Structure 1
């Protein structure tokens, strides 16, 4: 891609703002410049985008389509400029014109297309696919509203609409000519033709138009631009139809139009009620049906191959259970629209679809009421029923040892359609996302399926794109790294291992330490601007940023904070390294207990931050509305990465990788990818504590843990829980009683009390290590050096060679 010089950038920005926008540079706002730069960047990228798609068509290469309900892409301008090789010149041009690049880039809203690690992983994967020159694309939904915008008011989480599309999104291109129709409900009529085959006719269906919006996915300085296709649900009836309809029908039309638009209206609508469940199921079918229709239409466009060859040209990776309906929908298209028989359609389907499992939590292994599926998707219900019948019959005939397990294997059981089972039976690959997670799937959660299909199960440990999470968010550290080992690590992240040579180089480590301090000072300034809280950049920045869930154990973290506060109140002269605890998390709107934990964190922040008697030794900060852009500010400044989930519950985690890559040290359980981090850096360079996955499983299976025993024997635990129960931290005596009762009367289901002592002890070790700064910086550098293993480039290379069988487009 030809580079624009700084002067050319200045000229182009002036042209866009003055001649296109009608505003002089002197009058232009940061918003005006943002849209001007997006337009310039798009012009530079579009030729490569067109050329990439044309190359894929000409070569008829095999392509992967990554189906996901979430793509947490964050802001794209800076990353697009970086990957296109234009960032430095654009920054220089803005500075020459008197603008702060960071303020210009921050005009862009975080795209409300995802919530947590699942969606961020999908975004990292797309970037690595393009950067490694693999032919691959994402398929998702163009939600008009994200999860929600979080505000903290008087310590409580308050949810506001996240209307991120209220202004033009500069990266999307509407492709109305490639819209497809999706059908819900209706009547299915079956006919037997003269040749003995069956034909199905659909009547009285509710038709929805799916319109694609394509977003470019830019590879790192390699001229490859893949696509993220986002589907928007639209009504077939236009405004003219509404105006000419009878008045009695007018409001019916409006309601119907609104119900259709709701399909792509909200990310994760509340599914606690029936209407919410229906909407979630509609969203999932909408995603897979529109994507599969588009994929098959693209395949047929060349007209050279029968769909029997679809698995040679296409692989469909479904990201978790949400897109599992891809299995029966592909069967439906092949049989009803392309006239294949069952056996051929099944062969094509099971050679095309691959499934990634992200969780062992029962509530996340989706299942839908059978009657709901039958009513909303009558033809798919027929196909799922037949898949289930054939599968159960085969198990009965071929595996007599599993006959008594058929109920646990059946896709339809207890009037529920089990989506994870459907995905396993209908795919050729089932992968976990960390070594421990995959072993749990094989030996415990999905052991019966592993007995049936051992060849399908494999592990692909998650990864993060180091270009976003190191090169972009921490440019000063990236420059230092390139100065000593060269820039090869940007395209070959395993080259970071060369930093081990400098892990005892005192001048180099001092420069790295200075960069960390600068990052902490910037975050401290941001915290002060946003919250009014003054924090010491020389304190330990102890960070836990992730979705608020009981198994992630933010409660254990805040219990530690309360313990330290109690210690300081008892002994104000206690020799303790000042520490700043930073939290960022959203709780699901209906998740009462999680919201109580948020309230407790904010209450403790209010008490501790205003208590002068502790001399500023502790600060607690809860940064509201945690998202990608906020993570980009926090992660480079992190000293301690809190990865303290109950062992066996976190499939992988990727925050642990991002913070490790920026030199933070992990305090964590032997869960998810923490284990693989530990195996690489060694026990001396990570702080591991708590129960193992086997110990947790044994307690769940056999009992033996009594939370009240710890309450009665550990005075630190009893003091904290009594403080909650007696209203010591609340404006009312009853304020935090629910946490007290939940822990003791539900027997501490995630072992917060059981791991408390080990956690406190581990943080004492953290304290001692931090006081020895040469040792700390050696540990930090060791973590950075080994972090290349957790680049999503490595993960995607494994997917491409072992599952997808893709070739690079060199």
Structure 2
């Protein structure tokens, strides 16, 4: 086709704005049903209707997506690239309809066909690209970047199988493959034009070039191809559609043909499988050498493809990489992408032939690093032997970075060898390994924690040496959540009541919810608030009945703890309190008890024995209590399997009480606590993570705080904590633990819960369950007392929602943009003939 004809065709496309009125949506839906899905009135199934609806929405995203990217390109703007091994995006259909502003019209359009957008949305699988808070935070950040019209893009891996699907069988967690891509994903676009070669293994050859400079060639490598898949991320009704680009691993043609041409078909297929396994599963089991190597392969595969893509994109508009700090900001979401520092240095030095000093001068201003944990188990250490084998050139580069850094600090801190050892990227003992957090700090211009407490702890404890050296590097960026998904979409009843009362500006400025405070004491508004909560609880009760076969009382207090199952999050303490209430009722059935429904949800890592045992305990306790005629009308216990974003959207709106009870000093921030508060739940929690800042915002009288703070936890451990001493002063707890020892909840295996008893009483109670237990129970009595006064409880619920403005991810991202990335909003230029959303 000639160039003039191409231009004419493109003009027709650009001027054919896809309307979003009911009739236009119906026409698009019908066309996709027949021409995309190849269905007729006789063969259409619900899944076909979902995919047709998804394509209708995708069509309307495409124009804005193209306009957004073209504007960024034409204006050569500085962009931020958010690198994360996890993105828990949730369902895309409903979110896109909301952000495009066509949700009501689509609902009306589908109703004429006897369909519901809600029903079709539930067919969509959650994109299985993450495990928990890290991935959900990343998704909220992408939403906020697009809503604030910041030129940003996410990068990750397109896992074939995400975090496992959780089933509960006889009370135990069992793991099944989460094949979220089984039937395709209509919101992704494959970009075959963006493929990159990723190298592994091999050897490094050193030589002098014509100018006498020492050069390094990485030779004899094994190669894998990275293929780009793009997912659109729409801002809220503002024409901006950003991108998350995910990489899938593909075998190289050369590798396949080399085997095939010598007649080894099986070898060719095996090579393909071995290559493509890199992007097959999120978090492969890494407690064996092969699993650890695969995990490192994933990380390098991800960062190498990403860095190559960023440089390719940069060079399209810029003649060299020398101005990259002016055009590129890269945010490392935890240490998983930290190898990108070594990869960028490799490309600068080996490919671009830039001298080391200049390359490092370019590198550091580009990177910023977010630390998400104080726990040593999550601070990555890669054995030197593994890096030497898999990425020999990168190990050389890391050694050179470390050598120059240590030379520098030896001048600043002479005769402080212990400090030098702590700050070194290379750990010598007990195993020689690379400290990825140290690499990330040294190679970045900014390092942030994710709450005020967490930032202070990393400055004073975890990275105190680095903070002494570079205090200006460290900053606090308290996490946030997007109110578009977690209130407007997840809780339409409450969102409608709020908008009818104070307007809709809160959707893009969460501080607008402060206008609710005068209504906290308004009786009629309080009744409307209570009605919304009750209807949400009835919805969740129906779900529980359908999924678990358990009838719960929606007028009871919904006491909810949903998060990853881990000892430090202390689901165990919650269970012990439930057993305490159970004993009270059994010992005196006439004892007045505020009816409660205790709801748990969350996944345990497949290899985490103690966490899986806690899940078993929750389910055994539920089985006994829910079937006991003396207790089942007063307390119920429910474990909802397979926690994910879409399930969370049903749970948060129904919560009365939010359990945020981690051991103080161990939860970096938390975002579940923010989602509960946004939806009007009151918090019972420790002074940990963002709980501290929630307390500051909502006021001491509107939150339930108990237990030791981080300093007290540290001091108690230092002075010699003895859990048996606490137990001797708590006969109630003694009796509760005796129930576990006696096998009251494990008749089939009396000593099943012996490891829990051993951990609490004889192995140091590392997470201070015994130390905080009585304070927790006392606080729960205050909770029960207040819940009996529904008018007062509702006032506090309204105040919680009214003061949650700080915890919008919009605020967090604006702080990153202003103080870390140096990026500015860019409004897409809409092509002539198209309509802007504003």
Task: Give TM-score scaled by structure 2 length.
Answer: 0.95
The alpha carbon displacement at 1:20 in A equals 3.9
The alpha carbon displacement at 1:509 in A equals 1.3
Match of 1:188 in 2: 204
Match of 1:169 in 2: 185
Match of 2:449 in 1: 432
What is the correspondence of 1:177-576 to structure 2 with a 5 Å cutoff?
A: 177-237=193-253, 241=257, 244-247=260-263, 249-304=264-319, 306-400=320-414, 402-414=416-428, 415-576=432-593
Summarize deviations over 1:637-684 as a string: whole Å, max 9, x none: 000000000000000000000010000000000000000000011110
Match of 1:57 in 2: 73
C-alpha distance in structure 1 between counterparts of 2:167 and 2:492, whole Å: 30
Contact 1:516 1:637 in 2 (8 A): yes
The alpha carbon displacement at 1:710 in A equals 2.0
C-alpha distance in structure 1 between counterparts of 2:235 and 2:46, whole Å: 27
The alpha carbon displacement at 1:21 in A equals 2.9
Does 1 or 2 have the higher relative contact order (CA < 8 Å, sep 6+)? 2
The alpha carbon displacement at 1:395 in A equals 0.6
Give the secondary-structure state (helix, strand or coil) at the position aligned to 1:178: strand
Residue 78 of structure 1 pairs with residue 65 of structure 2:
no
The alpha carbon displacement at 1:302 in A equals 1.4
Contact 1:395 1:403 in 2 (8 A): no
Summarize deviations over 1:352-372 as a string: whole Å, max 9, x none: 000000000000011010111
C-alpha distance in structure 2 between counterparts of 1:255 and 1:737, whole Å: 45
Give the secondary-structure state (helix, strand or coil) at the position aligned to 1:82: helix
Give the secondary-structure state (helix, strand or coil) at the position aligned to 2:630: helix
Give the secondary-structure state (helix, strand or coil) at the position aligned to 1:614: coil
The alpha carbon displacement at 1:97 in A equals 1.9
Summarize deviations over 1:275-301 as a string: whole Å, max 9, x none: 111011111111111000000000001
Aligned counterpart in structure 2 of residue 160 of structure 1, from 172, 176, 180: 176
Match of 2:739 in 1: 723
C-alpha distance in structure 2 between counterparts of 1:691 and 1:707, whole Å: 14
Contact 1:175 1:211 in 2 (8 A): yes
The alpha carbon displacement at 1:307 in A equals 1.4
The alpha carbon displacement at 1:240 in A equals 7.4
C-alpha distance in structure 1 between counterparts of 2:259 and 2:441, whole Å: 49
Residue 581 of structure 1 pairs with residue 598 of structure 2:
yes
C-alpha distance in structure 2 between counterparts of 1:20 and 1:57, whole Å: 31
Summarize deviations over 1:229-249 as a string: whole Å, max 9, x none: 0000110138973884445x4
Match of 1:590 in 2: 607
The alpha carbon displacement at 1:401 in A equals 6.6
Match of 1:647 in 2: 664
C-alpha distance in structure 2 between counterparts of 1:496 and 1:665, whole Å: 16
Contact 2:224 2:252 in 1 (8 A): yes
Match of 1:122 in 2: 138
C-alpha distance in structure 1 between counterparts of 2:22 and 2:594, whole Å: 46
Contact 1:432 1:459 in 2 (8 A): yes
Give the secondary-structure state (helix, strand or coil) at the position aligned to 1:65: strand
C-alpha distance in structure 1 between counterparts of 2:35 and 2:328, whole Å: 45
Contact 2:723 2:760 in 1 (8 A): yes
Summarize deviations over 1:396-430 as a string: whole Å, max 9, x none: 01222744311111001211100000000000000
Give the secondary-structure state (helix, strand or coil) at the position aligned to 2:676: helix
Give the secondary-structure state (helix, strand or coil) at the position aligned to 2:667: coil
Contact 1:395 1:402 in 2 (8 A): no
Give the secondary-structure state (helix, strand or coil) at the position aligned to 1:625: coil
C-alpha distance in structure 2 between counterparts of 1:252 and 1:553, whole Å: 49
Match of 2:14 in 1: none
Give the secondary-structure state (helix, strand or coil) at the position aligned to 1:263: helix
Aligned counterpart in structure 2 of residue 690 of structure 1, from 702, 707, 717: 707
C-alpha distance in structure 2 between counterparts of 1:776 and 1:141, whole Å: 44
Match of 1:789 in 2: 806
Contact 1:129 1:136 in 2 (8 A): yes
Which consecutive residues of structure 1, in runs of 5 or more, have no partner in the other structure?
A: none
Give the secondary-structure state (helix, strand or coil) at the position aligned to 2:193: helix
Contact 2:255 2:268 in 1 (8 A): no
C-alpha distance in structure 2 between counterparts of 1:378 and 1:238, whole Å: 23
Residue 12 of structure 1 pairs with residue 28 of structure 2:
yes
Task: Give TM-score scaled by structure 1 length.
Answer: 0.98
Contact 1:321 1:419 in 2 (8 A): yes
Number of residue pairs matched by the alignment: 807
C-alpha distance in structure 1 between counterparts of 2:527 and 2:694, whole Å: 24
Q: 1:33 to 1:238 in 2, by over 3 A?
A: farther
C-alpha distance in structure 1 between counterparts of 2:34 and 2:247, whole Å: 34
Contact 1:324 1:423 in 2 (8 A): yes
Contact 1:710 1:717 in 2 (8 A): no
Give the secondary-structure state (helix, strand or coil) at the position aligned to 1:535: coil
Match of 1:23 in 2: 39
What is the correspondence of 1:606-645 to structure 2 with a 5 Å cutoff?
A: 606-645=623-662
C-alpha distance in structure 2 between counterparts of 1:357 and 1:625, whole Å: 27
C-alpha distance in structure 1 between counterparts of 2:749 and 2:116, whole Å: 46
What is the correspondence of 1:672-711 to structure 2 with a 5 Å cutoff?
A: 672-700=689-717, 702-711=718-727
Contact 2:625 2:632 in 1 (8 A): no
C-alpha distance in structure 1 between counterparts of 2:182 and 2:787, whole Å: 46
Q: 1:298 to 1:588 in 2, by over 3 A?
A: same
Contact 2:459 2:474 in 1 (8 A): yes
Which consecutive residues of structure 2, in runs of 5 or more, have no partner in the other structure?
A: 1-16, 828-838
- Higher mean C-alpha deviation, range 196-205 or range 670-679: 196-205
C-alpha distance in structure 2 between counterparts of 1:674 and 1:429, whole Å: 24
The alpha carbon displacement at 1:505 in A equals 1.1
C-alpha distance in structure 2 between counterparts of 1:404 and 1:652, whole Å: 30
C-alpha distance in structure 2 between counterparts of 1:390 and 1:624, whole Å: 51
Contact 1:175 1:212 in 2 (8 A): yes
Q: 1:688 to 1:575 in 2, by over 3 A?
A: same
Displaced runs of 4+ in structure 1, greater than 4 A?
Answer: none
Give the secondary-structure state (helix, strand or coil) at the position aligned to 1:99: coil
The alpha carbon displacement at 1:254 in A equals 2.7
Contact 2:228 2:245 in 1 (8 A): yes
Match of 1:666 in 2: 683
C-alpha distance in structure 2 between counterparts of 1:101 and 1:612, whole Å: 41
C-alpha distance in structure 2 between counterparts of 1:300 and 1:11, whole Å: 42
Match of 1:753 in 2: 770
The alpha carbon displacement at 1:615 in A equals 4.8
The alpha carbon displacement at 1:200 in A equals 1.7
C-alpha distance in structure 1 between counterparts of 2:816 and 2:632, whole Å: 52
Summarize deviations over 1:547-570 as a string: whole Å, max 9, x none: 011100000011111111111111
Give the secondary-structure state (helix, strand or coil) at the position aligned to 1:806: coil
